[in-house]
Amino acid sequence: MTLYSRVRPLAFTLPAETAHELGKRTLRGVQSTWPTRTALSYAYRYEHPALEVDLFDETFPNPVGVAAGFDKNAEVTHALAALGFGFVEIGTVTPYPQPGNDRPRLFRLREDEAMVNRMGFNGQGMERVKDRLERDGTPDVPVGVNIGKMNSSSESEAIEDYRRVFDRLSPFADYVVVNVSCPNTPEEFDEGSPAHLRSIFETLEAENDANVPVLVKISPDSPEESIFDLVDIVQAFDLDSIVATNTSTSREELKSPNREEWGGLSGKPIEDRSTAVVRSIAEYTDGDLPIVGVGGVDSAASAYAKIRAGASLVQLYTGFVYGGPSTAKRINRGLVELLERDGFASIEDAVGADLE
């Protein structure tokens, strides 16, 4: 029995957001001194050469990252790296601070191993995040910065929002993700329209003298034709990758009472759908476009399924909440066993193994 399996029932008696804040406070405490941070690395990191992935001109020590939303303001990035994650995506960061939606806005669906959130881009804004990254530095694993617009922004203001956050934070980023797929921010206009996407990418291209890899994060709810339209745009602008997927508005076959809450569904129930999106993109691009697979990853088998469907990297949020601090280590150790079982020398050899 792990410590977390004893603490979890207690933490789960608290409202989900309060438990999250407590967890983050603990991680902040642990990362604040060198000995505690080192002890965390020692206990939780799992290293193996077969797990290394070379992508975006970086070496990822393993393919299992923390998805956006967990560390919105770059407060616990070092602790997450010490917990053995191969990369950490901070954000979504907006230009100015934003309170997000009213609480409660985060719900556990325990029977479904899922969560629903309607946080609504709450965050401290890019200046606070920049100051923190300057002060604390970034950890020894790649860090992605996920960028978004203010909830109140019009279509043209949104373009300027992305430009400003990109300009401020890309110097700290190993990659930047444009998040146009949040299902719980007000819909002032169609964020996924091809014209809007083109304007964003044109603007960022003009701003990107340092050639920071740019990715776009998509919804699991888009029909296949819109996904392919987006992939065409991604390829036309020579973007580096697609993050598939964000949370879902669907509510199929859920058991938990909280299934009625509005917001984005994450965790187990979206696993297959997001893996299917990974596979569609990989097939459509003949494996030429790297994909970051996210949605319902909570075990080596679920991470491996996304990798075999075409993902070069995977991320998780909900699986970490349910699995606790040893999640990355458990998944990475299991991945090495799966690679050995199937005769692959590395993760990179297994990417897309299930494609025709």
Reading the block at residue 41, the tokens are 């690395």
The residue sitting closest to ligand FMN, measured at its beta carbon, is 69
* Complex with ligand FMN: residue 320 or 344, whichever CB lies closer: 320
Helix, strand, coil abundance in the chain, percent, nearest 5: 45, 15, 40
Q: Report, in Å, the least distance between residue 281 CB and ligand FMN.
A: 15
- Tell me if 247 is assigned to a ligand binding site: yes
- Tell me if 217 is assigned to a ligand binding site: yes
Q: Which of 30, 40, 115, 182 is catalytic?
A: 182
Per-residue CA distances from 239 to 66, 166, 225, 345 (Å): 21, 14, 19, 28
* Complex with ligand FMN: residue 119 or 311, whichever CB lies closer: 119
Reading the block at residue 188, the tokens are 């002032």
Per-residue CA distances from 47 to 34, 39, 40, 98, 293 (Å): 20, 15, 14, 38, 21
Which residue, among 333, 294, 22, has the nearest Cα to 179 in the 3D structure? 294
- Tell me if 318 is assigned to a ligand binding site: yes
Q: Report, in Å, the least distance between residue 67 CB and ligand FMN.
A: 3
Residue 34 burial (C-beta neighbours within 10 Å; 0-12, 13-18, 19+): exposed
Would residue 182 show up in a list of annotated catalytic residues for this protein?
yes
Q: How many CA atoms lie within 13 A of 266 on its CB side?
A: 33
Q: Which residues contact 12 (CB under 8 A, 6 or more apart)?
A: 19, 108, 110
Q: Report, in Å, the least distance between residue 33 CB and ligand FMN.
A: 28
* Complex with ligand FMN: residue 295 or 352, whichever CB lies closer: 295
- Tell me if 320 is assigned to a ligand binding site: no
Q: Which residues pair with 88 in a beta bridge?
A: 66, 143
Residues within the interface to ligand FMN (CB under 6 A)? 67-69, 72, 91-92, 106, 115, 117, 119, 146, 179, 217, 246-247, 266-267, 270, 294-297, 316-319
* Complex with ligand FMN: residue 31 or 94, whichever CB lies closer: 94
Q: Report, in Å, the least distance between residue 301 CB and ligand FMN.
A: 14
List, as residue ranges, the binding site: 68-72, 92, 117-121, 146, 179, 184, 217, 245-247, 267, 296, 317-318
Catalytic residue positions, numbered: 182
List, as residue ranges, the binding site for FMN: 68-72, 92, 146, 179, 217, 245, 267, 296, 317-318
